[in-house]
Every structure is written in structure tokens, then in C-alpha cells.
């Protein structure tokens, strides 16, 4: 079991205990343990019980449960709790604005056990009668349900990646000579994936039996000679297809998609007297093979340059590829630093030095520590004097980590009226200022746009953090006129963040592309709350690539000496 899976089980235990209205200390203990384990850099399943107890927040009982999960793959206590409720009850918790207390109330008073039952009760107006509910809360719940219906069956890109690598390890161990290639929306770097698509080049039929025997398979949906589909625990569907070596490129091309890109390619083939399918590219007249072993040869035969998977959405890449003017896309290796992260001063889990050490190990040449400002009281946000004290501590680390510059910054809240949470003379004394919205999400478009424009007009502001506030599969973006925001960003030199928290990826691809086309700079930052999360930059790189961004479009590809003069505070004459 990996850390993520163990953390998820502890979180479920905490949720179930909270639904049962059990002791608050016990609930918090499980949540803390889940946080610690989820962010731990090494696999906790491989740590002995005595050492486990040295981990923050892990006592004797929790260490035993980790060992139980590591050795048996399950936890008896978790199973007992699950038995006390219908399994669908945990789905309710994934709705925005529905916490364990609400679930407990819904279950005890109306016997609501699933999202369907909740939707029916909300539509019938039965929720507003409940204590502490009201018509407004009822409408919010209904809206959350409707938002989730459109995401049904989709999964976050990083979650898909984690499960995919588990699957690939399993397959590769059992069929060592075979090439397994992930395709579909995952290969295109889409922010969410509907299912997992894998090709096996040159594999034998027996591979299908191996595939459907994976320990996570809950149901076999199809089991054929060249294609099998399974349903994995966690609600993932995965497809495995066997492909002969001569069709490797054709299958990769076809199953990577997107459908829209493929349709145009097929038409291009027809115009040239050719036929394109998942087996290869063939001449129509004598059915002879023109290409198929590599994607490059297929695109070449269609008079195009090979197209990076992230661009295959029929958003102009076909024209650009045939005119040989595709951009050189950003890669993870182009990034030299990370400009948004938190520490124990607010809601981060690690000290400044631990974050710096981890950044140095990743090869970064600079980071900015950007803890929260005071409006985020829940996160123990900093007021002016704490912010400046913290900045002094941050700066004192310079010189201690060879090759790493540590910038003292802040993630300053944008208040409801667009003013900033900290005074200008405080912001002026920091090295970099990120501003973000963390409250009043339901303002209308004009209000929200004015609010953010006003914040961006403050001359000490360098970056707009997670610009649209969305939480993938959970909360829609707030209403915002992106046209005005990107124009202002380009004009004033405020960089727009692609936030790499796995459930944000905010800006999304099309907004990031708009920003880039307007001439606004992007910044790809992790917003890490633990050292482990600093590796999440790779997911933001996918968003940037889908936005056609190259190294020149991104602020944190610059060296520290190039970066400093680009910050607004340093640019004033």
C-alpha cells in the first residue's frame, strides 16, 4: 500500500467517526495521521512499528494500524466502521459544503444514505425543515449535487497517474519484455481523466489474464483476445489493448486522441488517398502500408510535424503542424524555482529549512516562502509584524543551502472589496507578493472582476495566485471576466499562477493560453504545504503545455538574476 492509500483509509475512519459523533480528539488524531502519512517522503508501509512511532502524530495504536494495512492490505477497525453505514454514505462527504456533521444529521433525521436520496430530498424541499438548514443551505446542496453530476466517473490527473504507475509496475513485473504505453486523456495531460487506457506492444493473449487478475480489479467488464476492460477499486475503469509492433505508432496515435484531433487527421488521410486507423496508415488503392510503426512517420506521411500529445485537441495544432510552426513547449526541466509555498508559520506542515532542503534536493535555484496573511485566521495567517519577523527568519537561511536563494514572500488575501489584507509598507519590505481570493466566492462576475483588478493594481503585487478558485471535481470557479484579468496582467506585469495543487490546476489550459496570447506572464508554483508536495510542479507543466506555453512565457524558468528585475517592485524607475 502506498502512502496515499493509507492516508485515505485514515481519513475515511475520521469521517465515519465524525458521522457517528464520536470523540473529537480521536477524530483529529486520525486526520493528523492521514496528513502526516500523505505527505511523508518515504513509503510508510516499509517502516517498522517502533520507527513509525517517531513520525509526528503517530502513536502506538496508529502505528499498529499502519502495520496492519501494510501487511494485510486492510484494517479491521475501518471495516467495522464501514459496516455500520451503507457504503454510499461517504459519497455525500465529497459534496462541497457537506461535512460529517451534516451527513450525520441527514442520516439520523431523514435516513439519507446516498447522493441520489439527498438530491430527491433537496428537490422536494425537505431539507429546509431540518435544524440549522434553511432554504439557502438546501439550494447550495442542490447546486453542489448538480455540479458533481457532470464530473461523475472522472478522476484527478495525479490520482490517475498514481494508479497507472501501480498498474504498469504490476504488468511489467509479469511481462518484462513488453512495452506498456499509457494513452488517452492521461497522455494528453488532461486535468481529469475518465478512464485509464494502456497499450501493450507485442504482448501475448495471456497478458489479458494477468491484467484481469490485478488485485484491485473489482469487476471484469470485458475479456477478449486483444482488449480487456476492468473496473478497479476507487471507481476507475482501465482498458488494456494488445498491439502488434508494426501498429505501435498507429495505435498510440489513435488511442491518444483526442477524438476531435483524430477526426481531422482521418480526413487529411482521405484527401491523400490514404486510410488511417488504429492498425496503420494504408493506401486506399492497393491497401499497402505507408506507416504505422511510429507516430512520427504517420504525421510525416500526412505532411505534418509530429504533434505533442498535450496539443492534440484540434485547437490550431493541425494548421501549425502542417506549416511547421508548432511551439517548443515548456518542460519540467525548464523550471528553476517555485514561488508559492507554506510553512509551519501558518498552515504548512514543515519548517522553512525543511522546505528549503527539499527544494535544493529537487535542483531548484530559488524558492519563495509565501505564508498566509491574517484574514485566514483558520490557517493562523500572519499580521504585518509577524510577516516581517517571518521574512527575517526566511532570509536568514540564505547562504545555508548551496545554490538556493530563499525569497521572503507572502500569500496576501484579497479582501471582499479588493483591498489587500496587509498594509503597503509591509508588502514593500518583502521580496515577492502573491495575492489570492480565499473568501466571498459567490460575488457576481462584475464584483469579483473589479475586486481582483483592484488588488492587481497595487504596485507591490507580483503574482495572482490560483486565479479562478476552482477545486476540481468539487467546486466550480468563481465568476470572473478573464478577458479583463489577462489584459490587466499583461499591462501591469502581474504574473498569473498555474497553481499545482492536485485538485486546483488553476489557471486551466484555456485560460492560461488566453493569458499567454495577451502577453501576460505565467508562473508555475506548487502552493506546497509539505516538502513532498514540491514535486507537484509536473502537473502544472501539463497545463502550461496544453496552453501552448514555452519557457519564455513562464516567469520561473528565469535565473534568480533574471527574475529579480522582472518583479514589479524592482521595475519602478
Q: Does 436 participate in binding Zn ion (rule CB under 5 A)?
A: yes
Spell out, one character per residue from 167 to 196, where the chain touches Ca ion: x when CB under 5 A holds, - when not: -----------------xx---------x-
Query: Whose Cβ is closer to Zn ion: residue 257's or residue 409's?
Result: 409
The smaller minimum CB distance to ligand DGT, of residues 230 and 455, is found at 230
Question: Which of 489, 498, 468, 341 has the alpha carbon at shortest distance from 410?
Answer: 341
The owner of cell 499580521 is 383
**Cα gap 330→326, rounded to integer Å:** 12
52 binds ligand DGT (CB under 6 A): no
Contact (Cβ atoms closer than 8 angstroms) between residue 212 and residue 239: no
Number of residues that bind ligand DGT (CB under 6 A): 14
For the segment 190-249, give every residue that binds Ca ion (CB under 5 A): 195, 197, 239
**Which region, judged by CB under 6 A, interacts with ligand DGT, from 102-110, 256-264, 353-361, 420-428?**
256-264
User: Which C-beta is closer to Ca ion: that of 35 or that of 195?
Assistant: 195
Place of cell 519590505: 429
Residue 262 touches which member of ligand DGT, Ca ion, Zn ion, none, C-beta under 5-8 Å by kind: ligand DGT
- Out of 17, 193, 251, 522, which residue is the one contacting ligand DGT (CB under 6 A)? 193
| Residue 536 beta carbon to ligand DGT: minimum distance, rounded to whole angstroms | 20
Q: What is the DSSP string of 533-558?
A: GGGGHHHHHHHHHHTT--GGGBGGGS
Helix axes 24-39, 60-72, angle to 10 degrees: 50
The binder of 131, among Zn ion, ligand DGT, Ca ion, none, by C-beta within 5 to 8 A per type, is: none
d(CA 222, CA 226): 10
- Which residue in 38, 158, 161, 184 binds ligand DGT (CB under 6 A)? 184
Question: Between 254 and 478, whose beta carbon lies closer to ligand DGT?
Answer: 254
For residue 231, give the C-alpha cell.
473496473
State the minimum distance, in angstroms, from the CB of residue 293 to ligand DGT: 19
Name the minimum Å distance from CB 184 to ligand DGT: 3
What CA–CA distances, in Å, run from 265 to 254, 275, 306? 10, 10, 12
Asked whether position 185 contacts Zn ion by CB under 5 A, the answer is no
Q: Figure out which of the listed residues 10, 211, 236, 255 binds ligand DGT, where binding follows CB under 6 A.
A: 255
Coil, helix or strand at residue 516: helix
Q: Show the site string, 215-254: x = touches ligand DGT by CB under 6 A, - = not.
A: ---------------------------------------x
Q: How far is the CB of 310 from ligand DGT (least distance, A)?
A: 12
Q: How many CB atoms lie within 10 A of CB 470?
A: 21
Residue 309 is a binding residue for Ca ion (CB under 5 A): no
CB of 53 vs ligand DGT, minimal distance in Å:
42
Beta strand pairing status for 196-201 and 179-183? antiparallel
Q: Minimal distance in Å, beta carbon 240 to Ca ion?
A: 10
| Contact flag: residue 194 with ligand DGT (CB under 6 A) | yes
Q: Rank residues 191 and 497 by Cβ distance to ligand DGT and give the closer one.
A: 191
CB of 272 to ligand DGT, least distance (A): 17
Choose the contact partner of 436 out of Zn ion, Ca ion, ligand DGT, none; CB within 5 to 8 A by kind. Answer: Zn ion
Locate 430 and state its grid cell.
518583502
Instruction: CB nearer to ligand DGT: give 314 or 380.
Output: 314
Which is nearer to ligand DGT, 258 or 331 (by Cβ)? 258
Distance CA 543, CA 211 (A): 31
What values do phi and psi take at 142, rounded to 5? -60, -40
Surface-to-core class of residue 266, CB atoms within 10 Å of its CB (0-12 exposed, 13-18 middle, 19+ buried): middle
By the rule CB under 5 A, 373 interacts with Zn ion: no
Angle between helices 3-19 and 60-72 (to 10 degrees): 120
Cα torsion through 210, 216, 219, 222, rounded to 10: -40
Cα–Cα distance measured from residue 172 to residue 183, given in angstroms and rounded to the nearest whole number: 16
**C-beta separation of 414 from 443 below 8 A:** no
What angle, 0 to 180 degrees and rounded to 10, lies between the N-to-C axes of helices 509-518 and 482-492? 40
255 binds, among ligand DGT, Ca ion, Zn ion, none (CB under 5 to 8 A by kind): ligand DGT
Q: Residue 500: which of 407, 362, 380 has the closest Cα?
A: 362
Nearest approach in angstroms of CB 114 to ligand DGT is 24
CA distance 372 to 334: 28
Per the CB < 8 A criterion, the answer to whether 279 and 295 are in contact is no
**Cell numbers standing for residue 332:** 519540467
Q: Could you tell me the smallest distance in angstroms from the CB atom of residue 370 to Zn ion?
A: 9
Q: Which is nearer to ligand DGT, 309 or 469 (CB)?
A: 309
Q: Say if residues 390 and 345 touch (Cβ distance below 8 Å).
A: yes
Residue 258 interface partner, choices Ca ion, Zn ion, ligand DGT, none, CB cut-off 5-8 Å depending on type: ligand DGT
CA distances from 542 to 310, 499, 549, 554 (A): 7, 12, 10, 13
Tell me which residue has its CB nearest to ligand DGT: 257
Which residues would be at the binding site for ligand DGT (CB under 6 A)?
Answer: 184-185, 190, 193-195, 197, 254-255, 257-259, 262-263
Which residues would be at the binding site for Zn ion (CB under 5 A)?
Answer: 436
Which residues would be at the binding site for Ca ion (CB under 5 A)?
Answer: 184-185, 195, 197, 239
Amino acid at each position: 500500500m502506498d502512502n496515499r492509500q493509507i492516508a485515505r483509509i485514515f481519513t475515511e475512519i475520521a469521517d465515519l467517526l465524525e458521522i457517528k459523533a464520536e470523540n473529537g480528539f480521536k477524530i483529529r488524531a486520525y486526520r493528523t495521521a492521514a496528513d502526516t502519512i500523505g505527505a511523508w517522503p518515504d513509503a510508510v508501509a516499509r517502516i517498522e512499528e517502533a520507527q513509525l512511532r517517531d513520525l509526528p502524530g503517530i502513536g502506538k495504536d496508529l502505528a499498529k494500524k499502519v502495520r496492519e494495512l501494510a501487511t494485510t492490505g486492510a484494517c479491521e477497525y475501518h471495516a467495522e466502521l464501514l459496516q455500520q453505514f451503507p457504503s454510499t454514505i461517504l459519497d455525500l462527504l465529497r459534496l462541497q459544503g457537506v461535512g460529517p456533521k451534516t451527513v450525520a444529521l441527514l442520516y439520523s433525521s431523514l435516513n439519507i444514505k446516498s447522493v441520489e436520496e439527498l438530491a430527491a430530498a433537496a428537490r422536494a424541499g425537505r431539507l429546509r425543515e431540518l435544524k440549522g438548514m434553511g432554504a439557502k443551505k438546501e439550494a447550495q446542496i442542490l447546486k453542489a449535487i448538480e455540479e458533481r453530476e457532470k464530473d461523475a466517473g472522472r478522476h484527478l490527473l495525479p490520482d490517475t497517474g498514481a494508479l497507472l504507475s501501480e498498474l504498469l509496475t504490476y504488468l511489467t513485473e509479469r511481462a518484462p519484455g513488453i512495452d506498456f504505453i499509457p494513452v488517452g486523456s492521461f497522455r494528453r495531460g488532461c486535468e481529469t481523466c475518465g478512464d485509464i487506457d494502456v497499450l501493450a506492444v507485442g504482448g501475448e493473449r495471456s497478458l489479458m489474464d494477468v491484467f484481469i487478475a490485478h488485485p484491485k480489479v473489482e469487476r471484469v467488464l470485458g475479456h477478449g483476445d486483444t482488449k480487456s476492460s476492468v473496473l478497479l477499486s476507487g471507481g476507475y475503469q482501465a482498458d488494456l489493448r494488445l498491439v502488434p509492433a508494426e501498429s505501435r505508432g498507429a495505435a498510440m496515435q489513435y488511442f491518444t486522441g483526442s477524438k476531435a484531433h483524430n477526426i481531422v487527421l482521418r480526413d487529411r488521410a482521405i484527401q491523400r488517398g490514404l486510410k488511417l486507423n488504429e492498425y496503420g496508415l494504408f493506401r486506399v488503392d492497393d491497401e499497402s502500408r505507408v506507416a504505422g510503426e511510429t507516430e512520427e512517420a504517420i504525421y510525416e506521411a500526412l505532411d505534418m510535424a509530429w504533434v505533442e500529445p498535450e496539443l492534440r485537441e484540434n485547437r490550431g495544432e493541425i494548421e501549425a503542424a502542417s506549416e511547421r510552426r508548432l511551439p517548443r513547449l515548456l518542460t519540467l526541466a525548464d523550471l528553476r524555482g517555485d514561488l508559492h509555498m507554506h510553512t509551519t508559520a501558518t498552515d504548512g506542515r514543515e519548517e522553512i529549512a525543511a522546505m528549503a532542503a527539499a527544494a535544493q534536493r529537487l535542483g531548484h535555484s530559488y524558492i519563495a516562502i509565501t505564508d498566509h496573511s491574517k484574514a485566514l485566521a483558520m490557517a493562523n495567517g500572519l499580521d504585518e509584524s509577524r510577516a516581517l519577523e517571518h521574512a527575517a527568519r526566511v532570509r536568514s537561511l540564505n547562504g545555508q543551502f548551496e545554490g538556493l536563494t530563499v525569497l521572503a514572500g507572502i500569500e496576501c488575501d484579497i479582501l471582499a472589496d479588493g483591498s489587500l489584507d496587509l498594509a503597503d509598507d509591509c508588502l514593500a519590505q518583502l521580496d515577492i507578493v502573491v495575492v489570492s481570493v480565499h473568501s466571498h466566492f459567490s460575488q457576481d462576475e462584475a464584483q469579483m472582476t473589479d475586486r481582483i483588478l483592484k488588488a492587481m493594481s497595487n504596485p507591490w503585487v507580483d503574482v495572482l495566485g490560483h486565479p479562478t478558485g476552482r477545486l476540481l471535481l468539487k467546486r466550480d470557479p468563481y465568476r470572473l471576466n478573464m478577458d479583463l484579468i489577462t489584459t490587466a496582467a499583461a499591462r501591469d506585469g502581474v504574473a498569473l499562477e498555474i497553481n499545482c495543487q492536485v485538485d486546483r490546476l488553476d489557471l486551466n489550459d484555456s485560460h492560461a493560453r488566453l493569458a499567454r496570447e495577451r502577453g501576460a506572464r505565467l508562473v508555475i508554483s506548487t502552493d506546497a504545504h509539505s516538502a513532498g508536495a514540491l514535486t507537484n510542479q509536473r502537473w502544472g507543466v501539463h497545463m502550461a503545455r496544453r496552453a501552448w506555453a514555452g519557457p519564455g512565457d513562464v516567469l520561473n524558468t528565469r535565473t534568480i538574476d533574471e527574475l529579480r528585475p522582472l518583479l514589479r517592485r524592482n521595475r519602478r524607475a
